[in-house]
Structure 1
Amino acid sequence: MKYLLLVSHGDFSSGLKQTLGMFAGDDAIGSVIAVGLKPDEAASTFGTRFEALLKTLPEDASFVVLADIVGGSPLTTVCNILNDHGKLQDTLVLGGMNFPMALTTLMSKDSLDNSALKEKAFSEATAAIKEFQTTSSEASDDDDI
């Protein structure tokens, strides 16, 4: 089974998983794992928690990893442990996760190869970044004159 592994500082990953469930449904989020480095938690303790979680998954589990920050302790720790278990080589690892990126990755992870999935995830992530423009109520009032 291919899992979407959300990695973050704090509760960002678990909140994102909850929100994905609102859009994709409970069946889809069964393949989503959220792990976060808790405030004041040592990276080694976080690693121990992730290692224990990894041992509960099927031996043939594969991963797409989305992380809040490339180079941060949570992602570095997760990648080191995946590598120790021989799982990193075939894992797609992307940073800068946002909701559109996560939703696209979740919905496409089983139908696209890693190269196409990376392109689609990056495209959705960047396309979602835009300014929300509003009009002031004064401008609307002036239009009525």
Structure 2
Amino acid sequence: MKGIVIASHGMLAEGMLHAVKMFSDDPEYILACGLMPEEDLVGYTAKLEAAAAKVNTGEGVVIFCDLLYGSPCNCAALLQKRGIVAGGLDVVAGVNLAMLLEFVSMRSSGIALADILKAGHAGIQDYAEL
């Protein structure tokens, strides 16, 4: 089972993790890692790396980031480029609750990244158009 790290600016990651737990009790191998205003990027990258190591079961890790090209995403991409996570590291930007819930519920069956993205896209709708 792949580990999960939710990476964000501020406390968004912690809030998303709390929301995931409302739907799926206490999922294993998942951590939140928020970048706080007082943190520098070198320190945050090390914190993100430590979180990835902690949730890694040997099958790899997916880091879900709040914003494409934001600092948390850029730090995750740096870790991905370094290739230091056993089992591999995937980085998904633009996280939403729909994709997190889909991945948490399906990750033991080896859900593909494309399916995670589809779940995230499907969760974004104009309610008036439904």
TM-score band by shorter chain is 0.7 to 0.9
Q: 1:124 aligns with which of 113, 119, 124?
A: 119
CA contact (8 A) 1:83 1:89 kept: no
Deviation at 1:91, TM superposition (A): 2.2
CA contact (8 A) 2:31 2:55 kept: no
CA contact (8 A) 2:3 2:52 kept: no
**Cα separation, 2, equivalents of 1:58 and 1:123:** 24
CA contact (8 A) 1:7 1:68 kept: yes
Q: Residues 3-82 of structure 1: matches in 2 within 5 Å?
A: 3-26=3-26, 28=27, 30-54=28-52, 56=54, 60=58, 62-82=60-80
Q: Which runs of 5+ in 2 are unaligned?
A: none
Once superposed, what is the RMSD of the aligned Cα atoms? 2.4
Deviation at 1:70, TM superposition (A): 2.1
**Cα separation, 2, equivalents of 1:55 and 1:91:** 11
**Cα separation, 1, equivalents of 2:108 and 2:56:** 17
Deviates more, 1:56-65 or 1:6-15: 56-65
Deviates more, 1:59-68 or 1:118-127: 59-68
Q: Which residue of 2 aligns with 1:141?
A: none
Deviates more, 1:61-70 or 1:87-96: 87-96
Residues 49-95 of structure 1: CA deviation (Å, up to 9, x unaligned): 33444555567362012111122211222332355462287222211
Larger radius of gyration: 1
Q: Which residue of 2 aligns with 1:2?
A: 2
Deviation at 1:6, TM superposition (A): 0.8
1:106 is aligned with what amino acid?
V
Number of equivalenced pairs: 128
Q: Report % sequence identity.
A: 23
**Cα separation, 1, equivalents of 2:89 and 2:97:** 20
Give 3-state SS (helix, strand or coil) of 1:14's partner. Answer: helix
CA contact (8 A) 2:16 2:97 kept: yes
